[in-house]
Amino acid sequence: MAATLARLRVPLGFGCGIVVLWLARPTGATIAAGGAIACAGEALRVWAAGHLRKSREVTASGPYRWLAHPLYVGSSVMGAGLAIASASIPVAVLVAVYLTATLVAAVRTEEAALMSRFGDSYDRYKRAGQVDERRRFSYAQAIANREHRAVVGLAGALALLALKAAV
């Protein structure tokens, strides 16, 4: 069940996005405040993506030194920002339910896969954040991890909210 939910989080996100846009009651002020928060979440995601080499190693540089799942933390901050930008309690509830369900499933699935693939190295990281690694941030790596898609998605979401606020 968790693996299926984790796999479906992107298409489910698009479906939730349509409902969010319908329920949203944005204003210029809520878009500015929520947009700033959402951009901070995306900045964390870009930073994490610039350090991550998916499925090839246990990453412990950049934000991974302090957070086990900085991409998901960034997504949660983005979701909170978009909920604020939407100025709607039902949107906030929908965002919270969606993020809780899908990200918990993704974390469980991902951690099982990492433990299976990297064993002791991942266990050491989980216990103490210790993996011998010093890597600099790389925009090329962030792009290789397709983080530019999330940037475009966030910009599109904020633009749609701004359009709705103007109508």
Write the pLDDT tens digit of every residue in 127-158: 765 555 677 899 999 999 999 999 999 999 99
- What CA–CA distance (Å, rounded) separates 76 from 27? 22
| 3-class secondary structure per residue, 56-123 | CCCCCCHHHHCCCCHHHHHHHHHHHHHHHHHCCHHHHHHHHHHHHHHHHHHHHHHHHHHHHHHCHHHH
The per-residue DSSP string of 119-166 comes to THHHHHHHHH----------HHHHHHTTHHHHHHHHHHHHHHHHHHHH
Task: Report pLDDT for 130.
Answer: 58
Write the pLDDT tens digit of every residue in 97-128: 999 999 999 999 988 888 888 888 787 777 76
DSSP 18: H
> Residue 50 in contact with residue 139, Cβ under 8 Å?
yes
Task: Report pLDDT for 135.
Answer: 78
pTM over 0.75: yes
Task: Report pLDDT for 133.
Answer: 65
Reduced to 3 states, what is the DSSP secondary structure of residue 53?
coil
- What CA–CA distance (Å, rounded) separates 127 from 129? 6
